[in-house]
Amino acid sequence: MQEALYCYTAGSALANRVFDQVGSLEPGKNAEMVMLSGAPFECADLLIC
């Protein structure tokens, strides 16, 4: 799960050469935020679609 999250965020930003602008939560970077109802690394595999 951690690797999938990295690929979706920082990995995509690196591949598109925009990691200086997006891809991680840091001051000065653009960000979209998602509120989750549970811990993303503690969910059951069956809940991931």
Q: So what's the pLDDT on residue 16?
A: 93
**Burial profile 5-40: b = 16 or more Cβ within 10 angstroms, e = fewer:** eeeebeeebeeeeebeebbeeeeeeeeeeeeeeeee
pLDDT tens string 30-42: 987 777 777 777 7
In the block, which residue shows the tokens 């690196």? Answer: 14
| pTM greater than the 0.85 cutoff | no
Residue 2, pLDDT > 60, answer yes
- DSSP single-letter state for residue 6: H
Classify residue 32 as left (phi > 0), alpha (psi -120 to 50) or beta: beta
Residue 49, pLDDT > 70, answer no
What are the structure tokens assigned to 44, written together? 């059951």
